[in-house]
């Protein structure tokens, strides 16, 4: 892959470190949101922490470094046949994704202060890191909405097929491998337009 030749050491390290930040924030936020909705499964499975090691997916981390689109360790919501709890699954997916995207415009608010406070060299690195976090958060949320096992959106099948939880878990590695192939082949739609819409500046 030529992408490895195009990445500088600086870009590689920054993308790697910032994806760890994004992983920690996203994993903890979705788990906390699920807990507020009285779904304690993500908490029981160790997702409710700001320690990125608890939510990291090494394949997702690699894709984030190479393509700015990655994923975290699968967050599995509680399956249910009850209508209100099926609705809860949908709400966690939609609200969690929408609010996670809010970090993109919120970080834009800090850009002028970074320019003023930091020196030229350090300011450049911090601003670049902010940009990477924004790109990777969008990439993570975009992939999380994919309705396949292994992604947050895949939990929709726990509302549709509540008795197939074990089968869904078995399909997770296959779906993640499929997404890796899609990314490597460049078949994923361009999300840069959406990123521009979310930016304040």
pLDDT tens for each residue of 111-166: 999 989 999 889 999 999 999 999 999 999 999 999 999 999 999 999 999 999 99
HSE of 34, CA atoms in CB hemisphere, 13 A: 28
The average pLDDT across 40-69 equals 97
pLDDT tops 50 at residue 1: no
Residues 195-200: what's their mean pLDDT?
93
- Report yes or no: 135 and 104 within 8 Å, Cβ to Cβ: no
R_g of the chain computed on alpha carbons: 17
pLDDT (average), residues 8-36: 97
What is the reported pLDDT for 125?
93
pLDDT surpassing 70 at residue 3: no
Domain boundaries, the chain: 3-198
**Which residues are CB-contacts of 12 (< 8 A; sequence separation ≥ 6)?**
65
Alpha-helical segments (H) within the chain: 3-6, 9-36, 41-44, 58-67, 83-101, 103-108, 111-117, 120-144, 156-160, 165-185, 192-198
Q: Which of 5-14, 56-65, 148-157 has the lowest mean pLDDT?
A: 5-14
- What whole-number distance in Å separates Cα of residue 78 and Cα of residue 165? 9
Q: What is the mean pLDDT of residues 75-94?
A: 95
| Buried/exposed 124-137: b ≥16 CB within 10 Å, e otherwise | eebbebbbbbbbbb
Rounded Cα–Cα distance for residues 101 and 94 (Å): 11
* 26-41 pLDDT per residue, tens: 999 999 999 999 999 9
Q: How far apart are CA 200 and CA 108, in angstroms?
A: 6
The DSSP 8-state label assigned to residue 119 in this structure reads -
pLDDT value at 93 more than 60: yes
Q: Does the structure show a pLDDT above 90 at 89?
A: yes
pLDDT exceeds cutoff 80 at 67: yes
């Amino acid at each position: 892959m030529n992408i490895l030749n195009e990445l500088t050491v600086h870009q590689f390290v920054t993308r790697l470190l910032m994806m760890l930040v994004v992983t920690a924030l996203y994993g903890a936020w979705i788990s906390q949101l699920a807990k507020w909705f009285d779904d304690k499964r993500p908490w029981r499975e160790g997702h409710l922490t700001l320690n990125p090691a608890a939510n990291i997916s090494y394949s997702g981390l690699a894709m984030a470094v190479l393509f700015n689109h990655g994923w975290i360790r699968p967050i599995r919501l509680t399956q249910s046949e009850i209508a209100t709890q099926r609705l809860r699954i949908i709400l966690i997916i939609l609200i969690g994704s929408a609010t996670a995207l809010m970090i993109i415009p919120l970080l834009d608010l800090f850009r002028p202060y970074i320019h003023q406070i930091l020196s030229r060299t350090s300011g450049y690195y911090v601003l670049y890191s902010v940009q990477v976090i924004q790109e990777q958060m969008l990439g993570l949320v975009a992939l999380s909405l994919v309705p396949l096992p292994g992604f947050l959106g895949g939990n929709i099948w726990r509302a549709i097929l509540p008795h197939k939880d074990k089968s869904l878990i078995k399909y997770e590695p296959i779906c993640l491998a499929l997404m890796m192939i899609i990314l490597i082949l460049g078949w994923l739609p361009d999300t840069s337009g959406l990123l521009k819409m979310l930016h304040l500046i």
